[in-house]
Structure 1
């Protein structure tokens, strides 16, 4: 899909005219965003089963910083023994942070015990990680960042990679760029609510075609001091669709919704517009040939309107060792909306990917004790 073309402004008067146009586009953006979200509304449930959850739990886990070759500091958290037989590394999605895997961190810690170390990190420009030059906000760069994380926190031993949304694209990017790591180091991978190539054939396509975003993208790159003037334009386009498409069920925990929206609202505007463009143009299908060597999980919700199930079905068809898990009633944030379905699928993936079967053995022993 070709990008909208906006003439580059020249001189102060042109800058002023362009800024006025960008301000006007915010109203257009709001209209477009709302129109795309109009059919995606949901109701919050009166009963909130997650009202007492501490969604900031990851902030108290062991912390470290990984510095990438271009000098960007990535915030890392981990739980579980450092000498565990297996490390599982989680890469979050667009406009989120490592907390998007909150339920996996809580439930799988109980499930795996000391057999697995889980590592979470914030992608560049997200959460507690550094913002970076806008031209580095690409899926290729995210794959390189993942390699930097692995080199520091998991330099030896088997690893399973888990990516949600843009994080799944990160895993594919890593597989394309570092095929020698598979299967010698990377023993398994999960692609959750993701896509191997551009996502313009979804409600995101309406966002991507909106000229308001191109105006903001120009400001991010060429007039950074003026970005705050266009912040409203971009968020009025993107926020309604992200908010409405995050969940599929009509009865959603208000606490979970508030948590996910807080993550989205906290995303810097440059991160939002540049990675949105990256999601449009990326093509990581070459990574599928590498992932075909290892056990994989491909999962999504059947009401995911940002990365529809057809994307997951196509990836699974290219992966001979894949389990395809389509979760009924779930939207794009399936790991927050129906965490147990994803947790169970991740347990199966680790059991398939771990040659020693230590994790599976531990699980069976615990179930015997529990069942008496």
Structure 2
């Protein structure tokens, strides 16, 4: 009798914390959001070079669904011949979807032609992929999901992995759990705006201590039917941080900003809240000995507030085959803000990671593109 009474008391306390947090923080979060929005508005440029871009381009690529061992359907798109000599697999970041690699898909399709197949997928709980129990919203699970994608989409031949933000953590988790794949199958890795360990020391870490986020976590886990009520409060806390960290000081395209904000807004609240704890406790530093065996690209903006450049510099110091690029003026979404720098670096990575025959071919393709550009 006392056990059930105590259990009921714990539930009431959890619900009380959730209600108090949700009620008390929304005004503060709203004010923060307004301040960040004003700051962002000052930075966007009236001259929008990407006004006519079709940011949903990936939706027209060949698609399929890969189902994970625990039954989660992952939406997958691919471009390039299925028998291409090399496959490059892209894993996107927190509160985004595969479209976050829009510029890479557009430019590198022309760059590599028939020599490279590119595979993109939405992480569990994101984009067009299915939801999952919040208990599975962990970085190690994402590494296992990546292994599932590889086993279905690229069962043979060399692979280069590209991860942005949480997608980079996904690649790190894969390397730790499947070291036998490196360098026999995975011949190169790109880590963009990411960290080998939890982001508790970044500004995001301070935000994660906010009581409204803890209340939202409780609601997601113990009161899923009421979780929609926490969207406004939780988004008011985390949304301004994500938006402020997305881009640096340089003027940016209104269309690109609108596209990235739509991806964030469309992310289910259960996904947003569920993965926050994973980002906080993430630690895949053990994998660096495995990654030391393959050519690695590490990219970060020097205005990245979520995964500051110190995280990238620390990884590069442990990886003798790495190229480190710190992009001046760029924020967390460096592949959308300064795509040319990222694209060129990915081309160099592939040239370093692939057999000499493919290197020669890609160099000729690059020269052809530039001569006709």
Give TM-score scaled by structure 1 length: 0.93
Quote the residue 1:347 is aligned against.
347
- In the TM superposition, residue 24 of structure 1 has moved relative to its aligned partner by 1.6
Segment of structure 1 superposing worse, 242-251 or 142-151 = 242-251
Paired with 2:157 and 2:360, the residues of 1 have a C-alpha distance of 18
Quote the residue 2:23 is aligned against.
24
Change (3 A) 1:116 1:180: same
Quote the residue 1:363 is aligned against.
363
- In the TM superposition, residue 17 of structure 1 has moved relative to its aligned partner by 3.8
Change (3 A) 1:59 1:364: same
Change (3 A) 1:223 1:364: same
Segment of structure 1 superposing worse, 337-346 or 10-19 = 10-19
1:65–1:75 Cα contact (<8 Å) kept: yes
Paired with 1:179 and 1:32, the residues of 2 have a C-alpha distance of 46
Return the structure number with greater helix share: 2
Change (3 A) 1:87 1:153: same
- In the TM superposition, residue 10 of structure 1 has moved relative to its aligned partner by 2.9
| 1:141-186 residue CA offsets vs partner (Å, 9 max, x unmatched) | 0000000000000000000000000000000000000000000000
| 1:197-241 residue CA offsets vs partner (Å, 9 max, x unmatched) | 010111102211101000000000011111112111110000011
Change (3 A) 1:164 1:364: same
Quote the residue 1:138 is aligned against.
138
**Corresponding residue SS for 1:10:** helix
2:82–2:117 Cα contact (<8 Å) kept: yes
Quote the residue 1:3 is aligned against.
none
- In the TM superposition, residue 14 of structure 1 has moved relative to its aligned partner by 5.3
Q: Number of residue pairs matched?
A: 366
Quote the residue 2:281 is aligned against.
281
- In the TM superposition, residue 359 of structure 1 has moved relative to its aligned partner by 4.2
Quote the residue 2:114 is aligned against.
114
- In the TM superposition, residue 276 of structure 1 has moved relative to its aligned partner by 1.1
> What is the root-mean-square deviation in Å for CA atoms of aligned residues?
2.2
The unaligned stretches of length 5 or more in structure 2 are 1-5
Alignment of 1:203-214 (within 5 A): 203-214=203-214
Paired with 1:35 and 1:199, the residues of 2 have a C-alpha distance of 25
| 1:23-60 residue CA offsets vs partner (Å, 9 max, x unmatched) | 32333651695599599745110100000000000000
| 1:117-162 residue CA offsets vs partner (Å, 9 max, x unmatched) | 0000000000000010000000000000000000000000000000
**Corresponding residue SS for 2:356:** coil
Give TM-score scaled by structure 2 length: 0.93
Change (3 A) 1:33 1:366: closer
Alignment of 1:185-200 (within 5 A): 185-200=185-200
1:195–1:312 Cα contact (<8 Å) kept: yes
Asked if residue 324 in structure 1 is aligned to residue 332 in structure 2, the reply is no
Paired with 1:293 and 1:363, the residues of 2 have a C-alpha distance of 24
Asked if residue 89 in structure 1 is aligned to residue 89 in structure 2, the reply is yes
**Corresponding residue SS for 2:77:** strand
